[in-house]
Amino acid sequence: MNRTPKVAAVHDLSGLGRCSLSVILPVLSVMGAQCCPLPTAVLSAHTAFPAPEVAAFQDLTGAMEQTLVHWEALHTSFDAIYSGFLGSLQQIDVLQSLIHRLRRKETLVLIDPVMGDHGRVYRTYTPEMCEQMIRLAAEADLITPNLTEAALLLGEPFHRIPTSQSGMEEWLRRLSLDGKRSVVVTGVSFTPKALGAGCLDCRSGKIRFAMAPLEPGHFFGTGDLFAAVLLGSLLRGETLSESTARAVDFIQKSVARTLAVGTPMLDGVQFEPLLRELL
């Protein structure tokens, strides 16, 4: 019988709006992985909710540093280190130390470079943070940018985001840093009726696209849901292209269900009833 894979999940915990740890924990658990949270911050709601002046935001950078010291003292090792939304330059530095100090040869380092969406950089993300994230993401085994983040990583203006398959293949090769890391780009679409992701597996050099019917709605937190399903699938031994297809399919079904129920976009997608499909 196989040991349960262990994941260090470096993400925030947001009370309202399904995203980050509140999505990643259930998905990884149902897919048979142990999720060890390293919370970066506790928020009353994710940052897209209105009324930021009354919002709770507890920065946990100090606790992150202390956790790293404790985990290192315990000689803890992980099958994967998986990071997402980070709140400050210092948090990116802590993540870098964590990777340098706890990574083993067999550890999969998945960095989701959460910096922006829909052609805009998140308001909490400074140019220095973008630069530091680009540097750190160069050390990842796998990155999962959306189109906006892909442009930021490549230093390309948003209007140059490719709309053709050959253009996206070229971006995937560039994002892989000449095959040094694997890449999954989300939000890819070449026809009005389909949306999905493109992946480049640095071990085989192969590029694949996984597409699903386009659902007419945008929801927060789908990037986190996507990367969590992708990672859960990879840790079960599925290939990058199989894992990408599984994640695309799961997001499409979750979005379709949410549209049918009609809950608000800020609440994220109704994935809970579909979790059993990931078993």
Q: Which residues bind ligand PXL (CB under 6 A)?
A: 12, 14, 19-20, 43, 46-48, 85, 114, 122, 221, 223-224
**DSSP-derived secondary structure letter, 33:** -
Q: Residue 30 or residue 55: which is nearer to ligand PXL going by CB? A: 55
Phi and psi angles of residue 10, each rounded to the nearest 5 degrees, phi first: -100, 95
Q: Residue 94 or residue 207: which is nearer to ligand PXL going by CB? A: 94
Q: Residue 26 or residue 162: which is nearer to ligand PXL going by CB? A: 26
Q: Residue 14 or residue 258: which is nearer to ligand PXL going by CB? A: 14
| Residue of 16, 15, 6 whose CA lies nearest to 38 | 6
Q: Where are the alpha helices (DSSP H) in the chain?
A: 21-30, 61-73, 89-102, 127-137, 147-154, 165-175, 222-235, 240-261
31, two tokens: 């897919």
Task: Please give the Cα distance from 186 to 80 (Å, whole number).
Answer: 21
Q: Residue 48 or residue 63: which is nearer to ligand PXL going by CB? A: 48
Tell the smallest beta-carbon distance from residue 37 to ligand PXL (Å): 13
Task: Please give the Cα distance from 194 to 26 (Å, whole number).
Answer: 28
Task: Please give the Cα distance from 187 to 39 (Å, whole number).
Answer: 27
Tell the smallest beta-carbon distance from residue 87 to ligand PXL (Å): 8
Q: Residue 120 or residue 206: which is nearer to ligand PXL going by CB? A: 120
Tell the smallest beta-carbon distance from residue 20 to ligand PXL (Å): 4
Tell the smallest beta-carbon distance from residue 211 to ligand PXL (Å): 22
Residue type, 85: F
3-class DSSP state of 49 = coil
3-class DSSP state of 176 = coil
Residues contacting 75, CB < 8 A, separation 6+: none
Q: Residue 122 or residue 190: which is nearer to ligand PXL going by CB? A: 122
Q: DSSP per residue over 217-231, as a string?
A: ---TTHHHHHHHHHH
Tell the smallest beta-carbon distance from residue 26 to ligand PXL (Å): 15
Tell the smallest beta-carbon distance from residue 243 to ligand PXL (Å): 19
Q: How many CB atoms lie within 10 A of CB 63?
A: 14
Tell the smallest beta-carbon distance from residue 88 to ligand PXL (Å): 13
Tell the smallest beta-carbon distance from residue 36 to ligand PXL (Å): 18
Say if residues 27 and 278 touch (Cβ distance below 8 Å). Answer: yes
Q: Residue 79 or residue 112: which is nearer to ligand PXL going by CB? A: 112
How far is residue 268 CA from its own chain's centroid? 15
